Amino acid sequence: MNKTQSTSAEIFSMDDFAKALDAEAVSFEKDQLVRGKIHSYDSDGVYVDINGKSLAFVPAEEVAADESADLSALLPIGDEQEFLIIREQNADGQVTLSKRQLQVRYAWNQVGDIQSNKESIQLRVTGVNKGGVTVNFQGIRGFIPRSQLVERDLESLVGTSIPGVIIEADKDKNKLVFSQRQATRTANFSQLELGQLVTGTIVGIKPFGAFVEFNGNTGLIYIKQISQNRIEACEKLFTIGQEIKAMIIDLDEGNGKISLSTRVLENHPGEMLENMAEVMESAEARSERAAKKLFGN
């Protein structure tokens, strides 16, 4: 072989080798799921071996929803895990991955079942705004309106976990709204029973009756259940913030409705109108008699 032939063969073989490598290279695309082995850490994130041209990279903020989480605990060296490609390979062949966004994707897949089952889940409160509190559900930023919270001191909730039930979910708008009130009510419903005397606060007065809040639940004293005598207007009898004792006469767990009565505590018709203080003072004894009469308790 002469010198010219040798040089041509060497050039051909280098080009051919490069093409062969490209032909064998795995194709990585955005939004693709890949499995990789945790290789090493640096100050900005984690390197992962996904059998590509170079190690893939998971930025620290893409490891978990909680940026203060321990990387070594979530992604131990040598561990093989699944990731989501969020940026295709750069000029150096490096692919950018995310564990956090994959977690969010899986979380949204769970939302439908959780909502249909009216399941109560624990939520970490991450912040407070004028309308309520923000929460975190497996990486999804959710919201609990002030009207759906049990606690009044919202600042004290930050950093704590509270129960919530999904009341609105829209994946396309990335909207997830919860109710702590409904979750608390569901938890408390099992502790309620017909004939039980409860002590609560008047939180709403309507022409048809008064709403009473007690232990995270809200019950209704329908106007005909206030007294055996006819009542013209609830506003003349009750005030917002007033403490009252009433007996549970009906429970509708499916619709979350609790019906209360002070009528059954009266010793004679109209006593709630004439001397409410006396009815309230001896409500315990009165409720025992009424429960036996109505429910055989």
- Whether residue 4 lies inside any domain: the answer is no
Asked if 199 and 290 sit in the same domain, the reply is yes
With beta carbons less than 8 A apart as the criterion, state whether 274 and 229 touch.
no
Whether 217 and 249 share a structural domain: yes
Same domain flag for 180 and 198: no
Name the band, by pLDDT with cuts 50, 70 and 90, for residue 18: low
What the block records as the tokens of 213 is 């809040």
Q: pLDDT at residue 185 above 80?
A: no
The whole domain housing 117 covers 112-185
Residues 125 and 196 occupy one common structural domain: no
Q: Are residues 290 and 208 in the same domain?
A: yes
**Boundary-marking domain end, from 126, 160, 185:** 185
274 shares a domain with 201: yes
pLDDT tens digits, 63-121 = 987 766 778 889 999 999 999 999 998 888 899 999 999 999 999 999 989 998 888 99
| Separation of first and last alpha carbons in the chain | 109
- How many domains is the chain built from? 3
Report which of residues 196 and 14 the model is more confident about.
196
Name the pairing type of β-strands 96-98 and 243-252. unpaired
**Domain for residue 7, yes or no?**
no
Asked if residue 8 is part of any domain, the answer here is: no
The answer to whether residue 125 is domain-embedded is yes
Burial of 265 (0-12, 13-18, 19+ CB in 10 A): buried
Q: Does residue 161 sit in the same domain as residue 195?
A: no
Name which of 105, 119, 257 is nearest 178 in CA terms.
119
Same domain, 213 and 277: yes
In a domain, 52, yes or no: yes
Q: Is residue 222 part of a domain?
A: yes
Joined together, the tokens standing for residue 54 give 């170079």
For 16-23, what is the mean pLDDT? 52
Q: Which residue's structure tokens are 């093409």?
A: 19
Predicted local confidence at residue 111, as pLDDT: 94
pLDDT digits (tens, 9 = 90+) for 248-260: 999 987 777 899 9
From 185, 215, 235, give the residue that closes a domain.
185
Give the up-direction half-sphere exposure of residue 5: CA atoms within 13 A in the CB hemisphere: 2
Instruction: Output the CA torsion 59→62→65→66 (10° steps).
Output: -10
Q: What is the pTM of this model?
A: 0.58
The per-residue pLDDT of the chain, averaged, comes to: 88
User: Looking at the structure, do residues 88 and 130 belong to the same domain, yes or no?
Assistant: no
Q: With the C-alpha atoms ordered 269, 272, 277, 279, is the resulting torsion angle positive or negative?
A: positive
Categorize the per-residue pLDDT at 9 as very low, low, confident or very high, splitting at 50, 70 and 90.
very low
Q: Quick one: 42 and 88 in the same domain? A: yes
Percentage of residues in the chain with pLDDT exceeding 70? 90
Residue 55 within any structural domain of the chain: yes
- The CATH number of the domain holding residue 165 is 2.40.50.140
Same structural domain, 220 and 197: yes
Instruction: Output 263 or 117, whichever has higher pLDDT.
Output: 263
245 plus 172 within the same structural domain: no
